[in-house]
């Protein structure tokens, strides 16, 4: 417990120290990169609640990232730039959609659940493409970043960075509190043995659905942040690849562990960036200039190998996840 | 809106349906018997399409291209099974999804490196290019008609193999109770490899036939794969009959929705409503259908178990 606390303090100190250090050495690219990772980490943390603790293999979590982002984008499009309103709508809309998708899909289990969550997210992806008014396939520009009247200015990259950091830590803490509450114990019990959980008087369905909605709402917030981060909202946010990326972040970090998804988000994006650098470094040897765009040809096998040989994830290195 | 147009769109729907069926039949058997979720099934479809296209251009012979496309999908499918999927049979579905997701990234990128990211369009030989007159005033492309015929032939052959042969008996038994089949002394590993190869070849065939109709591009496999998931959810896992019925329903509903929802909404409600909601609703239609089927029959229309 003590060593875990030290690790947390060290990691947070590192993240707090990053912007001034990077500004000093003129590498502001990394502030942007880590901010994006932290926003995706919020999404991964929320997915861990249902995937890791609830055992619900949702292959459609990117849907809420998209709904959160589109909520902000569409409100800004119609001139509503108040951040409180935008983010509340992003969270509320994501929760509602999660309620609708969850209500149908949680009735099923196993492969069905995987395929259904994937299919519904694909439906939303096509919906995004067919919204001509909001850019269709090409997506839409965010007219103005969310406004928090004098309180927080998201146009300041470093302010935004610290906001993302705070929200990421808050989401980690929130999920930690949820899974250690009475509610969370039922959720985890239903994962480890559904029949027994039912037998002692807890039908899993409402608990799972509630967790599904909470995870969707949290991911909606991540989507609202993401829209502000990229200033651009595309249907591709809801693509199945994105859902797969989020799942990998949870798995690489370590399922059902408090810090796992955050570690996983960093590991996933850093691996991606590392492969791009590696390819660009190798390319001149073969007389080519730019190979970075082909990073996925290495990422694919890396991911396959990580599933086969690295089952416990990064968090497993530091401590044993709950059995 | 003339009846001839409706009939043509209906045929287009059946044509999409048989393409989906070829994919779904392999996938549902692999799922039902091996309990393996193989997302890379779509990659085999893509491989089939690309290899046919390349080999046709290379040899100048359409049949050589088709043969190579089918063989390529089969060989690559077997290789994938031996190299990665065998390590995953004992794992849970989550691991299978993730590992095959990695395979998709690899295959899509490989194809992009070899042939570029832009869409390609396959050329057809002269005798497949024309139109036939079905009845007075209605012509239909020969190629789409041949796709329907080939698909239906495959469906009949599959029906025969699954219901009338010893292999089919093992397949059905495997889908119902795997452990019991293995306990009765059947070499389940060999059955796995045979069924997987079978499924790979069917996916390849779907890709071969889809090439000249849809654009050939990296990622084409996943677009159809997700529709195939809808088919399987509607039809029921492990059931070839369910796959056929589900595929035809999805194919026809999707095609008719795209063709007629916009004009129908325009006339029934208002032109602006049709303009705005038509395309959006059309692209969501099969998923809404899936939701309805799930609400009424959670195990699909033809569940293989029970």
In tens, the pLDDT along A80-91 reads 888 888 999 999
Who wins on pLDDT, A310 or B249? B249
pLDDT average, residue stretch B141-169:
88
Query: Cβ of A110 and B93 within 8 Å?
Result: yes
CA–CA separation, A122 vs B305, rounded Å?
Answer: 28
Question: According to the model, what pLDDT value does residue B290 have?
Answer: 87
Who wins on pLDDT, B78 or A219? A219
Chain B hits for A303, CB-CB cut-off 8 Å, are: 98-99, 101-102, 105
pLDDT digits (tens, 9 = 90+) for A11-29: 899 988 888 888 888 888 8
Residue B72, pLDDT > 70, answer yes
Query: Cβ of B97 and A296 within 8 Å?
Result: no
pLDDT digits (tens, 9 = 90+) for A28-62: 888 899 999 999 999 999 999 999 899 899 999 99
pLDDT digits (tens, 9 = 90+) for B91-107: 888 888 999 999 999 99
The continuous run of DSSP H or E covering B140 comes out as: strand B138-141
Q: Helix or strand or coil: residue B36?
A: coil
Query: Cβ of A296 and B222 within 8 Å?
Result: no
Are residues A43 and A63 in contact, defined by beta-carbon separation less than 8 angstroms? no
Residue B233, pLDDT > 50, answer yes
pLDDT digits (tens, 9 = 90+) for A245-272: 999 999 888 887 888 899 999 999 999 8
Residues 6+ apart with CB under 8 A from B141: B130, B131
Place of tokens 């469906």: B155
Q: Using CB atoms, which residue from B31, B229, B283 is nearest to A126? A: B283
Question: According to the model, what pLDDT value does residue A323 have?
Answer: 40
- Go through the domains of chain B in sequence order and give each one's CATH number: 3-296 (1.10.3470)
CA–CA separation, B53 vs B123, rounded Å?
Answer: 8
CA distances in angstroms from B153 to A279, B18, B149, B157, B159, listed in the order given? 47, 10, 6, 6, 10
Give me B13's structure tokens.
Answer: 């729907």
User: What does R_g of chain B's alpha carbons equal in angstroms?
Assistant: 20
Query: Cβ of B105 and A300 within 8 Å?
Result: yes
Smallest CA–CA separation between A89 and chain B, in Å? 22
Strand partners for A141: A232
Query: Cβ of A114 and B93 within 8 Å?
Result: yes
Strand partners for B132: B140
- A191-205, B43-57, B126-140: which range is least confident on average? B126-140
Give me B35's structure tokens.
Answer: 């309990």
Q: What is the DSSP letter of A136?
A: G
**Percent above pLDDT 70 for chain A:** 97
ipTM field: 0.87
- A151-160, A217-226, B150-159, B272-281: which range is least confident on average? B272-281
Chain B hits for A118, CB-CB cut-off 8 Å, are: 226, 229
Are residues B27 and B236 in contact, defined by beta-carbon separation less than 8 angstroms? no
- Taking a contact as any Cβ pair under 8 Å apart, which residues of chain B between 159 and 198 contact chain A? none
Who wins on pLDDT, B72 or A136? B72
**Percent above pLDDT 90 for chain B:** 19
CA–CA separation, A75 vs A233, rounded Å?
Answer: 12
Phi (first) and psi of residue B304, to 5 degrees: -75, -35
Locate the chain A residue with the closest alpha carbon to B104.
Answer: A300
CATH topology of domain A11-19+28-318: ABC transporter involved in vitamin B12 uptake, BtuC (1.10.3470)
Task: Give the number of beta-carbon pairs within 8 Å between A and B.
Answer: 118
- Compute the mean pLDDT over every residue in chain A, rounded to the nearest whole number: 88
How many residues are listed for chain A in this entry?
A: 323
Helix axes A2-24, A28-48, angle to 10 degrees: 150
Q: What is the DSSP letter of B134?
A: E
CA–CA separation, B170 vs B187, rounded Å?
Answer: 10
Phi (first) and psi of residue A57, to 5 degrees: -80, 85
The continuous run of DSSP H or E covering B131 comes out as: strand B131-135
Question: According to the model, what pLDDT value does residue B305 have?
Answer: 52
Give me A33's structure tokens.
Answer: 């990169």
- Best residue of A112, A125, A282 to probe chain B, by most B CBs closer than 10 Å: A112
Question: According to the model, what pLDDT value does residue A82 have?
Answer: 84
Chain B hits for A302, CB-CB cut-off 8 Å, are: 102
Residue A318, pLDDT > 90, answer no
Chain A hits for B37, CB-CB cut-off 8 Å, are: 111, 114
End-to-end CA distance of chain B: 44
Question: According to the model, what pLDDT value does residue B153 have?
Answer: 92
Locate the chain B residue with the closest alpha carbon to A52.
Answer: B94
- Compute the mean pLDDT over every residue in chain B, rounded to the nearest whole number: 85
Place of tokens 């001149």: A284
CA–CA separation, A175 vs A184, rounded Å?
Answer: 9
pLDDT confidence tier of residue A214, bands split at 50, 70 and 90: very high
pLDDT digits (tens, 9 = 90+) for A106-118: 988 888 888 889 9
Query: Cβ of B233 and A114 within 8 Å?
Result: no
pLDDT confidence tier of residue A154, bands split at 50, 70 and 90: confident
Please check whether residue B29 touches A, CB under 8 A: no
Give me B36's structure tokens.
Answer: 């393996």
Residue B286, pLDDT > 50, answer yes
- Which residue blocks in A154-295 are alpha helix, DSSP H? 157-179, 182-192, 194-199, 204-230, 240-253, 260-282
């Amino acid at each position: 417990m003590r060593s875990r606390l030290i690790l947390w303090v060290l990691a947070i100190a590192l993240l707090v120290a990053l912007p001034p250090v990077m500004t000093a050495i003129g590498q502001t690219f990394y502030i942007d990169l880590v901010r994006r990772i932290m926003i995706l980490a919020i999404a991964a943390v929320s997915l861990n609640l249902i995937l890791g603790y609830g055992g619900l293999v949702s292959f459609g979590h990117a849907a809420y990232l998209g709904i959160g982002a589109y909520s902000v984008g569409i409100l800004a499009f119609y001139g509503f730039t108040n951040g409180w309103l935008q983010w509340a709508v992003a969270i509320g809309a994501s929760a509602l959609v999660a309620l609708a998708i969850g209500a149908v899909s949680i009735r099923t289990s196993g492969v069905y659940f995987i395929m259904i969550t994937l299919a519904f997210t694909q439906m939303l992806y096509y919906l995004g493409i067919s919204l001509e008014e909001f850019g269709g396939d090409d997506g839409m520009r965010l007219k103005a970043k969310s406004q928090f009247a004098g309180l927080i200015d998201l146009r300041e990259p470093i302010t935004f960075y610290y906001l993302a950091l705070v929200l990421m830590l808050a989401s980690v803490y929130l999920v930690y509190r949820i899974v250690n509450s009475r509610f969370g114990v039922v959720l985890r019990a239903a994962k480890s043995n559904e029949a027994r959980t039912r037998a002692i008087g807890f039908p899993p369905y409402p608990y799972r659905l509630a967790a599904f909605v909470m995870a969707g709402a949290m991911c909606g917030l991540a989507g609202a942040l993401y829209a502000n981060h990229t200033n651009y909202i595309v249907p591709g946010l809801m693509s199945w690849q994105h859902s797969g990326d989020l799942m990998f972040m949870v798995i690489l970090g370590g399922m059902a562990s408090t810090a796992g998804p955050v570690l996983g988000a960093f590991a996933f994006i850093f691996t991606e960036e590392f492969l791009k650098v590696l390819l660009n470094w190798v390319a001149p040897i073969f007389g080519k200039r730019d190979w970075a765009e082909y990073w996925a040809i290495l990422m694919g096998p890396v991911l396959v190998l990580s599933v086969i040989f690295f089952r416990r994830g990064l968090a497993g290195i530091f401590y044993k996840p709950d059995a | 809106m003339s009846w001839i147009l409706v009939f043509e769109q209906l045929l287009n729907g059946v044509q999409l349906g048989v393409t989906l069926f070829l994919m779904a039949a392999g996938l549902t058997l692999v799922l039902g018997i091996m309990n393996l979720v193989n997302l890379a099934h779509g990659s085999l479809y893509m491989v089939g399409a690309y290899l046919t296209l390349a080999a046709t251009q290379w040899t100048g012979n359409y049949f050589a291209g088709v043969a190579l496309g089918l063989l390529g999908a089969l060989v690559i499918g077997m290789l994938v099974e031996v190299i990665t999927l065998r390590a995953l049979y004992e794992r849970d579905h989550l691991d299978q999804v993730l590992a095959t997701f990695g395979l998709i990234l690899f295959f899509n990128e490989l194809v992009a490196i070899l042939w570029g990211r832009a869409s390609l369009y396959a050329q057809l030989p002269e005798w497949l290019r024309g139109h036939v007159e079905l009845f007075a005033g209605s012509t239909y492309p020969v190629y789409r008609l041949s796709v329907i015929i080939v698909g239906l032939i495959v469906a009949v052959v599959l029906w025969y193999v699954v219901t009338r042969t010893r292999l089919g008996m093992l397949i059905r038994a495997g889908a119902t109770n795997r452990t019991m089949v293995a306990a009765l002394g059947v070499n389940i590993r060999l059955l796995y490899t045979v069924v997987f190869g079978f499924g790979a070849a069917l996916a390849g065939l779907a890709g071969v036939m889809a090439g000249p109709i849809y654009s050939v591009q990296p990622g084409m496999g996943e677009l159809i794969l997700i529709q195939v998931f809808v088919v399987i959810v509607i039809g029921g896992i492990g059931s070839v009959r369910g796959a056929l019925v589900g595929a035809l329903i999805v194919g026809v509903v999707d095609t008719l929705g795209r063709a007629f929802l916009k004009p129908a909404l325009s006339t029934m409600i208002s032109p602006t409503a049709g303009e705005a909601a038509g395309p959006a609703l059309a692209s969501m239609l099969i998923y809404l259908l899936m939701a309805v089927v799930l609400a009424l029959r959670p195990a699909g229309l033809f569940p293989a178990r029970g």
